[in-house]
Structures are given as structure tokens and as C-alpha cells.
Structure 1
Amino acid sequence: MILTFVAIFMYLMGLLSFCLNRKHLLLMLLSLEFVVVSLFMLMYIYLCSYNWEFYFLMVFLTLSVCEGALGLSLLVLLMRTYGNNYMISFNLLW
């Protein structure tokens, strides 16, 4: 029961940090990964409580790794193009 509250608190703090750190792309990616870890913890607790299989967790981990790799590749691309990771300097109209 306490682990569920901890995971929900982690999820809410991850969303709060995502909303507050909207100036830097790297901090946004880190807070998204924190949200993914808290969602993984919530799903694990839920699946353990009902004695279900954990195949869905493997799919979730695979997709979250793909999301992290895509975010890091975008970060590297934007760092090479613009030279910084400030969201205000990215002009998406060009």
C-alpha cells in the first residue's frame, strides 16, 4: 500500500518537474524518464497484486528504452544544430 503511494507521488513529482523545467531539453528528458520509471513501478505493483504475467512490463521497458534513445538522438541533433539545449532558441518555423 505504501509503495503505491510512493509510486503515485513519484509520478506527480515527475510531472511537476516536467512542467517547471520546460526551458532545458535535457531536464525535460530526465523528468520524462523519471515519469516512465514511476509508471513502471506502478504497473509492477499492480501486476504483482493480481498475480498476472509480466510480459507487458517487458514491452513497456522496450518502448521506454526506444523513447529514451529517440530523445537523446534529438538532443544530440539539436546540440549540433543550435549549440545549446534551451527550448527558447529552437526556431521550428525554418
Structure 2
Amino acid sequence: MSFQAYLDAIEEKTGLTPRQLLELAHSRGYDQETVKAGEILDWLKTDYGLGRGHGMALVHVIKKGPEIDAKHVGATGSHRDDSDTLWLDGRATKPS
């Protein structure tokens, strides 16, 4: 599953766009330098019922931003994506 597909599935499950969840994470004090992945995963599991795979996609966005390594773009692996920048504003507004 691509990183973008994980984020799209998170939106479908929670009703919140990745950007909205990112804002909630920041309001909880989760920042790039100090937050541990486990703390974010616990929050996402408790509040939204997200498992580790989906949670780790959001951990990436919280800790590293929407950019992903170019090695995933156009690749054939399980985390292949069409772009090196993840769309955070929701599936309905994603450009084709």
C-alpha cells in the first residue's frame, strides 16, 4: 500500500483529512524533534482505532512533513507513490 493510500484510508476511517490530524497532533504538542512514534501511535489507536501501519504513515507526516523519499515514486515496491509529496487536504480535493 502506498503512503498516499494509507493517508486516504485514514481519512475514510476517521472522517478527518491528514492535514486536520496533523493540526490536532501539533495542538497536542507533538512536534518533529521530541515526540516518539509510540506516543503518536497510542493516541491514534486510542482516539481513532488506527493500527500500526496506518499510524506510521501519519507519524511520518508529523515528524518529517509530507515529502517522501523519491525512491518510492514510480517504483514497483509496496510503498510506491505517484509523487514525492503526499496530499494532505483530503481525497475530495486531490488533483487527478
Q: Under a length normalisation based on structure 2, what TM-score does the superposition of the two structures give?
A: 0.27
Give the number of the structure whose alpha-carbon radius of gyration is greater.
Answer: 1
Q: Greater relative contact order (Cα 8 A, min sep 6): structure 1 or 2?
A: 2
Q: Under a length normalisation based on structure 1, what TM-score does the superposition of the two structures give?
A: 0.28
Greater share of residues in helix? 1
